[in-house]
Amino acid sequence: MKKAFFTIVTLFILTAVFAFSLPISWKIADKYSISFSTSGVSGIFKTFTGSLVFDEQSLPASKFDVSIDVNSINTGNGMQNKHAKSAEWFDAPKYPSIKFTSKRIVKTATGYAATGDLQVHGITKEVTLPFTFKRNGSGGVFEGFFNINRNDFKIGAPGGEVGEVIKVLVSVPVVK
């Protein structure tokens, strides 16, 4: 009887500890913004989906698995949009998504850094994306600013009027 009691108590404590250490699975709220800019062109991606599992107290268990719809690109100009989706640039019919899957998330001096596989234009490369997370009541906001070299993913020809280093600004409000 005594043994069974201790077993139940131990199981209860383990369950409680495990439950508290589980990172939160955040839902992407409206009004997120995925914008990019370089010399000659700037714009946004309007469709962003995926799962954001994150907890400041449980970084090893945190994980991002997100996707951007290439066809949702909007540069503000119809001809530029068509051009961006063409085979010369993103080749949207063949590669309709930009994907990022994190492998590890670590704390940094300024916030956090997610290292993972970024797949753009059918090419996958390991990148580290710095970001911050600010809690706001029952929700929060992920924000990140980083540079991507389009030549690494063979997007467009090197040089030309469009800059090679693309500044990407991500702001994703989330709710539980």
Q: Which stretch binds other proteins (CB under 8 A): 19-27, 51-59, 69-77, 141-149?
A: 69-77
Select 26 or 45, whichever has its Cβ closest to other proteins. Answer: 45
Select 21 or 39, whichever has its Cβ closest to other proteins. Answer: 39
Select 2 or 31, whichever has its Cβ closest to other proteins. Answer: 31
- The site string for other proteins over 6-45 (x = CB under 8 A, - otherwise) reads -----------------------------x-------xx-
Q: Which stretch binds other proteins (CB under 8 A): 15-23, 59-67, 78-86, 103-111?
A: 78-86
Position 74 contacts other proteins (CB under 8 A): yes
Q: Which of 47, 75, 101, 124 binds other proteins (CB under 8 A)?
A: 75
DSSP string of the chain, one letter each residue: -HHHHHHHHHHHHHHHHHHHHSPEEEEEPSS-EEEEEETTEEEEE--EEEEEEE-TT-GGG-EEEEEEEGGGEE-S-HHHHHHHHSTTTT-TTT--EEEEEEEEEEE-SSSEEEEEEEEETTEEEEEEEEEEEEEETTEEEEEEEEEEEGGGGT-S-SSSSS-SEEEEEEEEEEE-
Residues that bind other proteins (CB under 8 A): 35, 43-44, 74-82
